[in-house]
């Protein structure tokens, strides 16, 4: 198996990189956390002192970072990946970021004959751990076919959606649907509780019908258990929805549902829940209704 560079060993990146190692790939990593560095060094990973050094030791580099500024710094900044990547090397950026930034970075790399695909994911920490993420890819068809086995070490589904930037456009569409779904689940369960009907029984009754969804099955139990430990933080969903709104404004596309959920998430963030799981959206409705959803 090949040596893979990996930068961005957070909630998502850490289990994704572990799954690469389980699939037989060796890793070279760059990370600022001493604890994480020790963990991966003990597991057999090579440790680099900069993104440039990662690129000098691997022909394929994966980045999984918070947002556009971090990706630009790691790829294009001082001692960045672009300074160490060889011609025809591949950058797989799995960050969820502004599609226009993806295209900008891809163009800069292309000037040096370096390949790139944007490949954001959906599924949160549980699916990152299980290796069953859904991966949305923007790149050339031949590159997709070449790297599909590598992507499948981290996800159960990988779909090429078009050229550079298409993966992140698809991720924005995904995040609109996820946000609206979680808000609708919250609204429905608070309505049930306020009306005196057991919300857990409502969940069990509707999950097999048209209202059923992965979001309902994943988030309703968390709401009922009052478990808001982050699988996907509200702060990160705010970041994604901000990218949605910026992109939509740039192409004159209406996004009234996204705007409504964004206001809810910003309210929760301002109330100190930015690091809670996005299932904490239920607390926005609970505060207004004066009732708590629970089993």
Domain termination site, one of 145, 163, 181: 163
Contact present, 259 and 244 (Cβ < 8 Å): no
Let me know whether 156 and 178 are in one domain.
no
CATH number at residue 111: 3.40.50.720
Let me know whether 146 and 18 are in one domain.
yes
| pLDDT at residue 1 tops 70 | no
Let me know whether 32 and 158 are in one domain.
yes
Is 116 part of any domain? yes
| pLDDT at residue 184 tops 90 | yes
Q: Round the average pLDDT of the chain to a whole number and report it.
A: 96
Mean pLDDT of 251-264: 97
Is 36 part of any domain? yes
DSSP annotation string for 92-132: EE-----HHHHHHHHHHHHTTT-EEEE--EESHHHHHHHT-
Q: Per the structure block, which two tokens stand in for 166? A: 């298409």
Let me know whether 57 and 106 are in one domain.
yes
**pLDDT tens digits along 165-181:** 999 999 999 999 999 99
Contact present, 233 and 278 (Cβ < 8 Å): yes
Q: Which residues on adjacent β-strands are paired with residue 5?
A: 28, 61
Let me know whether 115 and 203 are in one domain.
no
Residue 75: closest CA among 121, 116, 34, 18: 116
CATH number at residue 207: 1.10.1040.10
Could you list the residue range(s) of the whole structural domain that residue 222 is in? 170-289
Let me know whether 100 and 185 are in one domain.
no
Q: Which residues participate in catalysis according to the annotation?
A: 171
Contact present, 244 and 258 (Cβ < 8 Å): yes
pLDDT at 231: 82
Contacting residues for 87 by C-beta, under 8 A, at least 6 apart: 112, 113, 114
Is 102 part of any domain? yes
Let me know whether 65 and 198 are in one domain.
no
pLDDT at 124: 85
Let me know whether 201 and 153 are in one domain.
no
**pLDDT tens digits along 54-91:** 999 999 999 999 999 999 999 999 999 999 999 999 99
Let me know whether 180 and 285 are in one domain.
yes
What does the alpha-carbon distance between residue 85 and residue 16 come to, in Å, rounded to a whole number?
22
**pLDDT tens digits along 52-63:** 999 999 999 999
Let me know whether 189 and 130 are in one domain.
no
What does the alpha-carbon distance between residue 193 and residue 286 come to, in Å, rounded to a whole number?
10
Is 222 part of any domain? yes
Mean pLDDT of 219-247: 95
What does the alpha-carbon distance between residue 63 and residue 5 come to, in Å, rounded to a whole number?
8
Is 295 part of any domain? no
Let me know whether 263 and 285 are in one domain.
yes
Q: Calculate what percentage of the chain has a pLDDT beyond 70.
A: 100
pTM: 0.89
Strand intervals (E) in the chain:
3-7, 26-30, 46-47, 60-63, 90-93, 115-118, 121-122, 133-138, 155-162
b/e string for 74-87 if b means 16 or more Cβ within 10 A? bbbbebbbbbbbee
Domain termination site, one of 163, 195, 216: 163
Is 294 part of any domain? no
Identify the band that residue 223 occupies on the pLDDT scale cut at 50, 70 and 90.
very high
Let me know whether 159 and 174 are in one domain.
no
| pLDDT at residue 41 tops 70 | yes
Q: Give the number of domains in the chain.
A: 2
Q: CA 231, 237, 239 angle in degrees (round to 5)?
A: 135
| pLDDT at residue 191 tops 90 | yes
pLDDT at 2: 80
Domain termination site, one of 129, 163, 197: 163
Residue 164: closest CA among 143, 148, 194: 143
Is 238 part of any domain? yes
| pLDDT at residue 270 tops 70 | yes
């Amino acid at each position: 198996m090949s040596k893979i560079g990996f930068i961005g060993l957070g909630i998502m990146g850490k289990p994704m990189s572990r799954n690469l190692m389980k699939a037989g790939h060796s890793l070279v990593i760059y990370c600022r956390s001493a604890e994480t560095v020790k963990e991966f060094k003990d597991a057999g990973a090579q440790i680099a002192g900069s993104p440039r050094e990662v690129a000098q030791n691997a022909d394929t580099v994966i980045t999984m970072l918070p947002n556009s500024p971090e990706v630009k710094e790691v790829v294009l900044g001082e001692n960045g990946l672009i300074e160490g990547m060889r011609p025809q090397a591949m950058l797989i950026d799995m960050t969820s970021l502004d599609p226009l930034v993806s295209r900008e970075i891809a163009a800069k790399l292309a000037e040096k004959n370096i390949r790139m695909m944007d490949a954001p994911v959906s599924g949160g920490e549980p699916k990152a751990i299980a290796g069953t993420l859904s991966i949305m890819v923007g790149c050339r068809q031949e590159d997709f076919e070449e790297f599909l086995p590598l992507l499948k070490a981290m996800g159960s589904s990988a779909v090429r959606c078009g050229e550079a930037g298409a993966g992140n456009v698809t991720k924005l569409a995904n995040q609109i649907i996820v946000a609206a779904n979680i808000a609708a689940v919250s609204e429905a369960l608070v309505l049930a509780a306020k009306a005196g009907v057991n919300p857990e029984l409502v969940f069990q009754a509707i999950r097999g019908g048209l209202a059923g969804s992965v979001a309902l099955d994943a988030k309703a139990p968390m709401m009922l258990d009052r478990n808001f430990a982050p699988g996907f933080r509200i702060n990160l969903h705010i970041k994604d929805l901000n990218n949605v709104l910026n992109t939509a404004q740039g192409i004159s596309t209406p996004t009234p549902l996204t705007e409504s959920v964004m206001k809810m998430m910003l309210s929760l963030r301002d109330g100190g829940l930015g690091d809670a799981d996005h299932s904490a959206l239920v607390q926005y409705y609970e505060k207004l209704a004066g009732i708590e959803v629970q089993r």
